[in-house]
Amino acid sequence: MKSLAELEAIRDKTLSEINMRTDRQGGIRIVVGMATCGIAAGARPVLGAIIEEVSKRELKDVIVSQTGCIGVCRLEPIVEVYRPGEEKVTYVMMTPQKAVEMVTEHIVNNKPIKKYTIGEADK
C-alpha cells in the first residue's frame, strides 16, 4: 500500500462484498454450490465472476451466497437464482463466462438463459 486512499479503496471494496453476502429480505438471491464437488468442477471462479459482475454493475438488490452440495454433482458448478415471487432457476455446468452472461441476461434483463438450465444444458 502506498497511501491512505488505497487503504480506503480496499476497505470500501471489502465492505461492498460483505454487504453483497449479507442476507436481506426481498432481493434477488444467487446461490453457488461450493461443496467439494462444486469446487473441484470450478465453482470458485464462477462465484468470483458473479461477485465481480454484480459489484461492477452496482446491483444493490442482489445477494450472492454459497451453499454446500446441491445434490447433482455431475452437473457442477451449479448456480441457483431466486427472484421474489418466481420459481427458482437452476443453472448447471457453469463457467465464469456463462456466469457473467447470466448476471447480464437473467439478473439485469430478467431473461433466464434456458440453454444453461438444468434439463437443457445436460442433454
Residues 37-88 have pLDDT tens digits of: 999 999 999 999 999 999 999 998 899 999 999 989 999 999 999 999 899 9
Q: In this prediction, what percent of the chain has a pLDDT beyond 70?
A: 87
Average pLDDT value for residue range 92-102: 97
pTM above 0.85, yes or no: no
The rounded distance, in Å, linking the Cα atoms of 123 and 114 is 12
The rounded distance, in Å, linking the Cα atoms of 98 and 43 is 12
> Over 60: is that where the pLDDT of 19 sits?
no
The 3 state secondary structure assigned to 45-62 is HHHHHHHHHHHHCCCCCE
Edge-to-edge strands, sheet with 62-67: 62-67, 28-33, 79-82, 89-91
- Third-level CATH fold of 4-116: Glutaredoxin (3.40.30)
